[in-house]
Amino acid sequence: MSKQTHAFQAEVAQLLHLVTHSLYSNQEIFLRELISNASDACDKLRFEALNNNALYEDAPELQVRLSFDKAAKTLTITDNGIGMTAQEAIDHLGTIAKSGTKDFMSKLSGDQKSDAQLIGQFGVGFYSGFIVADKITVETRRAGAAAAEGVRWISGGTGDFEVETLTRAERGTSVVLHLREEALDYANTWKLKEIVGKYSDHISLPILMEKEEWKDGELIEPNNEEGGRQPGGMVKTGEWETINKASALWTRPKKDITDEQYADFYKQISRDFDAPLTWTHNRVEGSTEYTQLLYIPAKAPQDLWNRDKKAGIKLYVKRVFIMDEAEALMPSYLRFVKGVVDSADLPLNVSRELLQESRDVKAIREGCTKRVLSMLEDLAKHDKAPESTDGVTDVLSDEDKSKLGQYTRFYGEFGAVLKEGLGEDFSNKDRLSKLLRFASSTHDSVSVSFADYKARMKDGQDAIYYITADTLAAAKNSPQLEVFKKKGIEVLLMTDRVDEWALNFVHEFDGTPLQSVAKGAFDLGKLQDEEEKKAAEDAAETFKPVLAKLKEALKDKAEDVRVTSRLVDSPACLVVTDDGMSMQLARMLKQAGQQAPEVKPVLEVNPEHALVKKLDGSVHFHDLAHILFDQALLAEGGLPADPAAYVKRVNALLS
């Protein structure tokens, strides 16, 4: 193929402009990304070679090599992995829509540090080379192809790139960075070793660099007036040395691994700049043998709510990399967990389809799930410092002290996703219920567990009361809470979108039923005295004529109209039947484009409110009835079916 010029995809051009002009806060990430890509290429070769050993050609030892040429101002990262064909080079290096470029561009904030972090997360790491290079040359040949089918790809990081064929004896890829003047520090052995030690020490492949040694300067010829010696310097010896540990971290004994090494390994496999919140490292023996190294991140990834995103678990079999994102090893509601599972029992040619059917995989999945839940239970146990710090914390170990408050951090990032497990993982539902946290009518922070609530229940209270709403403010100020506030009864405030769905699977906690304050007829049981019950019954009797007229006026909107004693300051509120779908859930389904039944709520009115008292005999009865309903709907978080008609009625009464 003669030399051809291709234009970059539009989003790539935008990305390149950003990389070359903005992301200088952490330049050295380019080497982490390119080494990671080289390692991935070797892993892909190893996987394909399971079915075709000839792909190894005459070089079965997989490795990554770093070399530099100060005179030429180049830094080269070479791997002997899978390599690329000409078309793959065009597709993978010129078009990255499938790598999430649009999502990447939409997440940019203008903060250099956080924007640089996104590069690895969105699979666009190759382009980070342009942070330090004003030109990149890629020379590559796919494993199994003829030497004459090599490819050269060249770009200056502007609007286009060139591709041509070349003869390349070695399989794999060499990425040659033509360094900018201000980036020549990276053509330095010490600098490169430092970066590899920081970011890539735990890559299981050897990363090689040519050794250097000091050479004294040569004597200057006697006829030279200056005399003495020419300056000495470091020269390459022709021998290559491994500059990373090149052994799988998870295979080492825990006692030989420092916290810093665990954190660095997490950063390498997750492309996360932040250290993990916590981790667990175990060798499991029995009918199924495997090693697990699982991490819980400190912060949620940008695509946490993409349920199609695969789990972040890398699968190895006897230290041979098999696949990234092995979703069969972790349930969807724990998709934020990162880590490695290395099985001693699975076959090397295991596929995603076989994973779904394997008994060993099922055992690994259950074991990993239980281990993650145990980690979370441990964090929750130590979440709060003792109320009295008078010498009490002195009895805690340093490890336990370090966990104080960590569960609150975790829950703020991942609590809503954890709730998905209530409907997906029946066997662990009770454990998950104990891990849930909510705000309440007496606690603004999302820190109240079901157990905390039960411990504070009033004498005679026989249910855990809760309310769901779109926001904390809407829940806290809901009319349905008025009588509960008056009587000092705590109500849990549930404001995550997943709450309505999740509560379909949780009907009680430790023997105490959960009761929505916005469902069913109002009944506080023993918490309501006989005098209050008698007053409610009398009001219902007295109001019968008005209720009949309200039912007729609102027959198209309300299933029923009744008086209530759950209201104190508000004239009316909306509730649904005990077994009915809540209005909030119906709205959420419609917003998501899903079918939802029409919910006709029950209108409850406060017979003591001045506006309700005015209904009897009012010439504006019909308008007042609709205003009452629409205002109750607004307070509940909905919108009137005809907002203009609502405004017209209110304006007519005001004028």
Nearest to 420 by CA among 429, 430, 407: 429
Domain check: are 44 and 191 in the same one?
Answer: yes
Q: Are 273 and 267 in contact (CB under 8 A)?
A: yes
Q: What is the pLDDT of residue 121?
A: 47
| CATH number of the domain encompassing residue 28 | 3.30.565.10
Whether 67 is covered by a domain: the verdict is yes
Tens-place pLDDT, residues 452-480: 999 999 988 889 999 998 889 989 999 98
Task: Specify the pLDDT at position 98.
Answer: 40
43 shares its domain with 165: yes
Q: For the chain, how many helices (H) and strands (E)?
A: 23, 23
The CA distance from 167 to 161, in Å, is 20
Looking at the fold, whether 171 and 205 belong to one and the same domain comes out as yes
Q: Are residues 546 and 470 in the same domain?
A: no
Query: Is position 350 within any domain?
Result: yes
Q: Please check whether residue 346 is in contact with residue 289, taking contact to mean a CB–CB distance below 8 angstroms.
A: no
Q: What is the CATH number of the domain that holds 548?
A: 1.20.120.790
- End-of-domain residue from the set 381, 407, 436: 381
Residues 45 and 188 occupy one common structural domain: yes
User: Does 103 have pLDDT greater than 70?
Assistant: no
| 611 and 626 assigned to the same domain | yes
Within a domain: residue 481? Answer: yes
Which pLDDT score is estimated for 169?
A: 95
List beta partners, residue 234: 214
Say whether both 182 and 237 belong to one domain: yes
* Percentage of the residues of the chain whose pLDDT score is greater than 70: 84
CATH number, position 476: 3.40.50.11260
Please determine, for residue 555, whether its predicted confidence score (pLDDT) is greater than 60: yes
- Segments forming the whole domain that contains residue 314: 249-381
Distance (Å) of CA 554 to CA 156, 581, 622, 632, 638:
70, 20, 9, 13, 17
Q: Is the residue at 410 inside a domain?
A: no
Tokens of 564: 């209530």
Across 145-160, average pLDDT: 91
- pLDDT of 391 above 50: no
Q: Indicate if 80 and 98 belong to the same structural domain.
A: yes
Count of domains observed in the chain? 4
Kind and range of the H or E element at 415?
helix 406-418
Q: Taking all residues of the chain, what is their mean pLDDT, rounded to a whole number?
A: 83
36, 360, 403, 442 from 269: Cα distances, Å: 9, 24, 24, 42
Q: Global pTM?
A: 0.67
Q: How confident is the model at residue 524 (pLDDT cuts 50, 70, 90)?
A: confident
Model confidence at 373: pLDDT above 90: yes
Confidence at residue 178, expressed as pLDDT on a 0 to 100 scale: 97
Residue 618, burial from CB neighbour count under 10 angstroms (0-12, 13-18, 19+): middle
Q: What was the pLDDT predicted at 119?
A: 46
Across residues 117-123, what is the average pLDDT? Answer: 47
C-alpha distance from residue 394 to each of 384, 386, 389 (Å): 15, 11, 9
Choose one of 484, 509, 524: the last residue of a domain.
524
What values do phi and psi take at 53, rounded to 5? -65, -20
The pLDDT of residue 3 is above 70 = yes
Residue 644 lies in a domain: yes
**223 within a domain of the structure (yes/no):** no
260 with 238, same domain: the answer is no
Q: In the predicted model, what is the mean pLDDT of residues 423-438? A: 94
Does 399 map to a domain? no
516 plus 558 within the same structural domain: no
Q: Are residues 552 and 445 in the same domain?
A: no
Long-range (24+ apart) CB contacts under 8 A made by 545-550 are 545/616, 546/615, 546/616, 547/605, 549/615, 549/621, 549/625, 550/603, 550/605, 550/615, 550/625, 550/628
* Domain match, 159 and 20 both: yes
Which residue among 329, 358, 381 closes a domain?
381
Does residue 459 fall inside a structural domain? yes
- The contacts of residue 158 (CB under 8 Å, 6+ apart) are 13, 16
Which residues make beta-bridge pairs with 281? 293
Cβ density class 259-284: b for 16+ within 10 Å, e for less: eeebbbbbbbbbbbbebbbbbbbeeb
Query: Is pLDDT above 90 for 175?
Result: yes
Distance of alpha carbon 46 from alpha carbon 318, whole angstroms: 13
Question: What is the tens place of the pLDDT at every residue in 218-244?
Answer: 666 665 555 566 666 777 878 999 998
pLDDT band at 37 (very low <50, low <70, confident <90, very high): confident
Amino acid at 119: I
Amino acid occupying residue 641: A
Q: Give the pLDDT score at 225.
A: 55
pLDDT tens digit string along 605-632? 988 898 888 888 788 899 999 999 999 9
